[in-house]
Amino acid sequence: MDLALADRVHQNLMHLYGWMGELGGGAVERGEGTVLTASRSKMRFLNTALRERSDEVATPFVSRAREFFAEHERGFTVYSWPGDTEVERAAAACGLGLVQESYPEMVCRGPVPSLAGEVRPVETLADAELYWTICEGSYVSLGFPQGVFREAFEPELLLAPETWACLGFADGQALACASLYMVDEVGFIGWVGSLPEGRGRGLAAACTVAATNQTFAKGLDLASLQASAMGAPLYPRLGFQRIYDYRLFGWPPA
């Protein structure tokens, strides 16, 4: 594993969660090489604990995460990865349960060919609200509860200078979406989705490619994403390379 590359994308994820927590009205606690982010939603997946690559015992980090999220009445998710196996040991010692065996980290290093499909940038609050509406209808397939996106994310997030987002249209209807978050000179591709009626048309792929190419159009040299079970087979065909897998541990463990 290329540790310099792995560190870069892992730190990007840490800083992204911290930034989004501040913008979204949540709570963020930064330590020495650690970040705890409580979102506006109580959904465990959206409340995260991450630390930089380290060989040091991680039990104090995970213990502090339990205290922090208890203060905010949240469950939470800890990210373990090959660069920091101590986190996994500490998660087990602190009673957390494995909630996702594999959460692939992928990168793209340059522009990729555009795909057919009508893709429009998010430019207004109405566009941004429509974006999260598509996520609501899309991520139900992955077990997300209805209403979680409206609860967790303000539409204004998609209009921030660090953000670029787009919608994919067919027959005049917005059916897919993807967004780009530019943090630490890395373009993070996130919240790619497609409504059930839009699947099989290539719209989510076209939106992903558009967001990826915006990364390089804006002068950055690396795009990064974490793939859901639905997206993992798609992204390698769009120019992304899998570099390692996260293992996610959660509290409460069930």
Indicate the range of 83-87, 103-107, 246-250 predicted with least confidence: 83-87
Pair type for strands 48-51 and 34-38? antiparallel
Q: Could you tell me if residue 24 is inside a domain?
A: yes
Q: Are residues 125 and 33 in the same domain?
A: no
Please tell me the chain's helix, strand, coil percentages from 3-state DSSP, rounded to the nearest 5: 40, 30, 30
Q: Are residues 122 and 208 in the same domain?
A: yes
Q: Could you tell me if residue 160 is inside a domain?
A: yes
Residue 147 reports pLDDT greater than 80: yes
Closest CA to 166 of 198, 193, 137, 197: 193
Of residues 24 and 126, the one with the higher pLDDT is: 126
* Confidence (pLDDT) at 24: 67
Distance, CA of 189 to CA of 182 (rounded, Å): 9
Mean pLDDT of 99-111: 97
Do 31 and 47 touch, CB atoms closer than 8 A? no
Taken in order 156, 46, 233, 213, the sign of the CA dihedral is positive
Q: Are residues 85 and 160 in the same domain?
A: no
* Per-residue pLDDT reduced to its tens digit, 193-238: 999 998 989 999 999 999 999 999 999 999 999 999 888 899 999 9
Task: Name the domain count of the chain.
Answer: 2
Distance, CA of 209 to CA of 226 (rounded, Å): 15
Paired residues of 84 in beta bridges? 81
* Confidence (pLDDT) at 229: 85
- Domain of 123, CATH number, reads 3.40.630.30
Residue 71: how many other CB atoms lie within 10 Å:
11
- Domain of 33, CATH number, reads 3.40.630
* Per-residue pLDDT reduced to its tens digit, 7-38: 999 999 999 999 888 876 789 999 999 999 99
Q: Are residues 135 and 205 in the same domain?
A: yes
Percent of the chain with pLDDT over 90: 92
Q: Is the pTM of this model over 0.75?
A: yes
Q: Are residues 153 and 177 in the same domain?
A: yes
Of residues 176 and 22, the one with the higher pLDDT is: 176
* Per-residue pLDDT reduced to its tens digit, 137-146: 999 999 999 9
- Report the alpha-carbon angle 5-6-11, nearest 5: 100
Q: Are residues 126 and 63 in the same domain?
A: no
Residue 3: how many other CB atoms lie within 10 Å:
11
Its domain, for residue 29, covers: 3-104+245-251
Residue 41 reports pLDDT greater than 90: yes
Q: Could you tell me if residue 25 is inside a domain?
A: yes
* Confidence (pLDDT) at 204: 96
Q: Could you tell me if residue 19 is inside a domain?
A: yes
Q: Could you tell me if residue 233 is inside a domain?
A: no
